[in-house]
Every structure is written in C-alpha cells, then in structure tokens.
Structure 1
Amino acid sequence: MEAIVAGPDDDGIGEALEAEGIAVARVDGVISRPELEDAGVLETDLYVLTDVGQATTIPIVCDLNAEARTVVYARRTIPDFVKGQLDLAVDPKLVGADVVASELVD
C-alpha cells in the first residue's frame, strides 16, 4: 500500500502510516499537479491532506486517480466544495494518528 501525505505533518500521520507498513511520499508547500504526479498520485492508494489551505488538491487527486482514498487529517474545517470528494475527515485532537493509520490499513 502507498500513501501521499500532503502538508506539514505536525501530528505524525505519516509516521503512523509507515509504522503500519505503508510506503509514504510527502509533499509540502504550494502543491501542484506536477508535484502530485512526481509523488506518485497515479498509483497511490491513499491521499492524506493535513493542510486544508491546500484543499483544491483533493479534486485534482480524484481526477487523476479515482481509486485513491482521500483523507483530511487536520484541525481546521474542510471547505464545503471538497466534502463530497472525501472518504474521511478526522481532527487530530479527537483521534490519534496511530488509530487513524490502523483504520486506514484495514
């Protein structure tokens, strides 16, 4: 299983996914389609966004890889325009990274 973690990972979701045996690619800063493609979005199983300021990447991921599960793991509220394209949204204050990673593997 492969995942892309997009945005800063202050809550450790990338490390938690790696602990579950998932290969993790990371992208940060202003994320563009070419950066997503370089990170392996066409083949990834999971896209985890930690910066809701980059929410426009969710439709891009869905367009490039309809099979990828999309997850937001962030403390801020998700913009309405992406809610319909998300598989899961979790606030790190409510559920720890290790629990989320374990559930995503199952």
Structure 2
Amino acid sequence: MGKQMTEMLKGTLEGIVLAILGVQPAYGYEITARLRERGFEDLAEGTIYALLIRIEQRGLVDVEKVPSEKGPPRKVYSLNRRGQEYLEEFWRTWSFLSERIGQLHEGEV
C-alpha cells in the first residue's frame, strides 16, 4: 500500500470497520479477513486491533467474549446505538466529500 493510500485510509478506517460491524458482529481476525477480501491486503492486523480498542473505549461497540475452540475466548464486536449514529454521520460526511472530490476530478471548480 502506498504512502498516500495509507494516509487516506487512516481517516476512514474507523468508519469502514463500523460499516463491517453494522452488517454482522465479528472478532478482530474476521474483520481483518473481510477487509482483505475487499482489497485491503496490506492492512496489518495490529492496526485493526488498535482501532477496535479505540472504538470500544469510545463506546461505539458492544463486546461479548465468546468461547473459542483454539485458545482463549474471542472478543466479538457488535455495533451499538451510539456506533450506529456515528456510522450514519460517517456516511453523510463521506457522501459530501466524495461528491465534492468527484466534482474536482471532473474539472468542476
């Protein structure tokens, strides 16, 4: 992943992860796998785990410990009401920005 992509992703990754959790609860590795399936192959697992800690601390997700066949219980994250409201605001902001950037890209100033 190039430097520009990495910098842009920093500002949107939280919303992307919340969108994934809005579809279905998941644990860290599942989230990373879903991101990789969508083309984010170079994304480090540590990046996702750090982000999950932040969104948990901010109260955007609920966490349930679920027994695992392979080792300690997994922390399964699900979007809560506060997280849903944050995600809705993310999509409004994304729509605004993408529309304006699209206009610039098409030469509309």
Normalising by structure 2, we get a TM-score of 0.29
| Structure of greater Rg | 2
Bigger helix share: 2
Report the structure, 1 or 2, having the larger strand content. Answer: 1
**TM-score (norm. length: structure 1):** 0.29
